[in-house]
């Protein structure tokens, strides 16, 4: 099958992909006794270089892998924009967004695709604002096509090694360790590069930034992952339960492949689907190369991490596990946590985010001493557009606090800081069709397919920060069942409507602009505002597990009918304040069809020993704060 980017192999003459425009830089960017240099004012680089006259290139690198098994190494393509002043001696760092989406799903809230409007082999329309904003400030910008997408050859492998190593090829070239060519086959060198690269991107792009960081590649100085998967097992599984099935990993590879290449790449996708373990949900070797957390000790780049606490696409355990590993390895880091779902900070807190990103890149890539690393490590959105800063996350002073499940008399059970004095049992039957609303609503009413436990109305705020864990002592009358738990805030309040359309934001018709423009590309984007709603309750966090994976996610061990076991599984991480007068609810279920794609079919009857069962909450202030709140 013909492939894009291999023309120099066949010797076909093509249009050169390099255009060198006149310098056109503002006078203050040019030093009288040397090459042009950046201008720093008020602690940040200034837009003293041109955008319309910037040098634009499309380059190709032979990779070290062959994803489509055609006997040829894949070619990784990328589009590069750099200030014209780099032709006169300016040394520029790189901001890179490696992505599989540039010609399919596209990027940003407005779904911008790459576009060569005049057919000259150079990019005219650059998605996102990074080029408009950073090139005039003395940066180069690279938008890299992940293997098997857009102008790169090969086939996507959904975060297997070929995907993960795509961006590393460009960083090696930037630092003189690989060869790049233009479309005419001419060797192109990055003699303008200052040796430092920062990677940024949302979702899949964010995972590629982290995947590159954990290789420890020299020259990658910082990464800014936005809502990206860090453990692909956790993206489609949870503690042995399949949350996204039907060969979802292979399906995603199909989504990012250009339509004209999908049939060609079908054998690669078939191999992915055959190896993904949909039939059991256990952790296998398939997931090792799609895991970044265990490789964090290799990271030498700093990390600015962003995630929505209510992201139900890339769930918050992706940021938390990576963040915990960064802390264990003393990686320089900062964290932003918002109340939205799968939303870019550019569309959530735009002005502050751009300012922060600017200062972050200036510090790490341009050596500007602006003090950003002396500021609080964590920015956290408490409610719509109400942000706090903290020294770290989880919030310092949090302590894991056991809250025990108590038997009830007529309706729901209770919650307390000490276990029930006498043994007591809660019983329910699994329902594979029970909806999440049925699980949560009417907590005071006994229902056959769940157990509900409620605190008394709180007398003081209760702040949790971290990862709650449910610990159950339970038995089942079947050899297999799932288990689920939901932490609920029962209390009327106005909250970010992260489950509504827009996942917490409303896109307006008005625009604002971030950076300079050319005749084919501007830095103007639609503004947004927060979507809020008043509700009587909030699903705070949730978790599930396959009871057969109680010992390990790698090995399933059937239950013995009627025998009691200890089950422990985490809920998704959270940072949440239960207000005075509200009640904390803990809901225990078996199958959780709105969390998993394959509900259990055993319809098991379960018995929970309440005296030995609890939820461990990461309470800021620990047991004393829980006592003060009335638990």
Residues serving a catalytic function are 203, 311, 342
DSSP state of 559: P
End-to-end CA distance of the chain: 67
Residue 69 has, within 13 A of its CA and on its CB side, a CA count of: 8
| Dihedral angle, C-alpha 618, 624, 626, 631, nearest 10 ° | 140
Q: By C-alpha distance, which of 73, 58, 79, 63 is closest to 182?
A: 58
CB-CB contact of 620 with 451 (8 Å): no
> Which residues touch 528 (CB under 8 Å, ≥6 apart)?
109, 347, 348, 350, 505, 506, 507, 508
> Which residues touch 379 (CB under 8 Å, ≥6 apart)?
334, 335, 336, 337, 356, 387, 388, 389
Name beta bridge partners: 446.
none
User: What is the gyration radius of the CA atoms in the chain, in angstroms?
Assistant: 26
CB-CB contact of 305 with 209 (8 Å): no
Distances (CA, A) of 379 to 335, 404, 462: 6, 32, 20
Per-residue tokens: 452: 């509900």
How many residues can be counted in the chain? 631
Give the integer Cα–Cα distance in Å for 61 and 74: 8
Give the integer Cα–Cα distance in Å for 149 and 156: 7
The sign of the CA dihedral 312, 565, 488, 293 is negative
Per-residue tokens: 551: 């010992």
Give the integer Cα–Cα distance in Å for 323 and 293: 9
DSSP 289-340: GGB-GGGGGG--SEEEEEEETT-SSS-THHHHHHHHHHHHTT--EEEEEESS
Give the integer Cα–Cα distance in Å for 548 and 571: 18
CB-CB contact of 330 with 336 (8 Å): no
Give the integer Cα–Cα distance in Å for 204 and 464: 29
Give the integer Cα–Cα distance in Å for 390 and 396: 8
Per-residue tokens: 482: 């799932």
DSSP 421-434: SS--EEEEE--TT-
> Which residues touch 416 (CB under 8 Å, ≥6 apart)?
403, 404, 406, 631
Taking phi first (over 0 means left), then psi (-120 to 50 degrees means alpha), and beta for anything else, what does residue 441 get? Answer: beta
CB-CB contact of 322 with 210 (8 Å): yes
Q: Which residue has the tokens 């069962």?
A: 613
DSSP 545-558: EEGGGSS-SS---P
Per-residue tokens: 334: 């900062």
SS3 342: coil
């Amino acid at each position: 099958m013909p492939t894009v980017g291999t023309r120099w192999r066949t010797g076909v003459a093509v249009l050169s992909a390099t255009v060198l425009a006149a310098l056109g830089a503002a006078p203050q960017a040019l030093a009288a006794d040397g090459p042009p240099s950046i201008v720093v004012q008020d602690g940040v680089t200034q837009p003293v270089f041109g955008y319309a006259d910037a040098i634009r290139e499309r380059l190709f690198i032979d990779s070290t892998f062959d994803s489509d098994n055609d006997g040829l190494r894949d070619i990784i393509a990328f589009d590069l924009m750099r200030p014209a002043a780099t032709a006169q001696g300016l040394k520029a760092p790189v901001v890179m967004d490696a992505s599989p989406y540039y010609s399919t799903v596209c990027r940003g809230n407005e779904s911008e695709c790459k576009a060569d409007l005049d057919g000259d082999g150079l990019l005219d329309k650059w998605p996102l604002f990074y080029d408009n904003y950073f090139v005039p400030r003395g940066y180069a910008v690279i938008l890299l096509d992940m293997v098997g997408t857009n102008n790169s050859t090969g086939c996507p492998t959904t975060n297997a090694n070929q995907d993960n190593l795509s961006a590393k090829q460009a960083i090696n070239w930037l630092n003189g360790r690989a060869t790049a060519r233009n479309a005419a086959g001419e060797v192109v060198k990055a003699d303008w590069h200052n040796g430092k690269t920062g990677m940024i991107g949302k979702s899949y792009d964010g995972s590629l930034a982290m995947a590159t960081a954990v290789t420890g590649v020299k020259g990658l100085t910082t990464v800014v992952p936005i809502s990206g998967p860090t453990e692909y097992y956790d993206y489609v599984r949870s503690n042995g339960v399949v949350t996204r099935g039907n060969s979802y990993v292979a399906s995603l590879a199909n989504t990012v492949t250009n339509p004209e290449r999908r049939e060609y790449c079908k054998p690669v996708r078939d191999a992915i689907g055959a190896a993904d373990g949909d039939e059991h949900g256990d952790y296998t070797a398939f997931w090792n190369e799609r895991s970044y957390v265990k490789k964090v000790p290799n990271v030498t780049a700093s990390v600015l991490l962003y995630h929505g606490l209510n992201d139900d696409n890339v769930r918050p355990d992706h940021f938390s596990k990576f963040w915990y590993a960064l802390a264990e390895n003393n990686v320089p880091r900062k964290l932003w946590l918002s109340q939205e779902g799968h939303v870019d900070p550019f569309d959530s807190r735009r002005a502050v985010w751009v300012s922060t990103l600017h200062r972050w890149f200036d510090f790490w890539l341009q050596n500007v001493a602006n003090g950003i690393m002396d500021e609080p490590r964590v920015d956290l959105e408490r409610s719509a557009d109400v942000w706090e800063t903290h020294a770290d996350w989880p919030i310092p002073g949090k302590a894991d606090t056991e809250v025990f499940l108590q038997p009830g008399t007529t309706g729901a059970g209770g919650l307390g800081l000490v276990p029930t004095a006498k043994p007591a049992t809660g019983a329910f039957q699994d329902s594979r069709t029970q909806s999440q609303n049925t699980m949560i609503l009417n907590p005071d009413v006994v229902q056959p397919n769940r157990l509900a436990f409620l605190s008394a109305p709180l007398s003081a705020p209760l702040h949790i920060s971290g990862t709650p864990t449910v610990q159950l002592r339970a038995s089942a009358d079947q050899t297999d069942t799932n288990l689920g738990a939901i932490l609920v805030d029962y209390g009327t309040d106005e909250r970010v409507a992260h489950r509504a359309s827009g996942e917490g934001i409303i896109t307006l018709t008005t625009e604002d602009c971030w950076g300079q423009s050319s005749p084919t590309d501007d830095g103007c984007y639609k503004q947004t505002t927060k979507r809020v709603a008043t509700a009587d309750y909030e699903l705070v966090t949730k978790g599930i597990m396959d009871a057969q994976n109680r010992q390990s996610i790698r090995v399933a061990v059937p239950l013995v009918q009627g025998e009691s076991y200890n089950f422990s599984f985490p809920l998704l991480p959270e940072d949440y304040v239960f207000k005075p007068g509200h009640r904390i609810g803990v809901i225990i279920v078996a199958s959780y069809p709105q969390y998993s794609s394959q509900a259990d079919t055993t319809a098991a009857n379960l018995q929970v020993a309440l005296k030995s069962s609890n939820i461990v909450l990461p309470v800021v202030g620990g047991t004393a704060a829980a006592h003060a709140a009335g638990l």
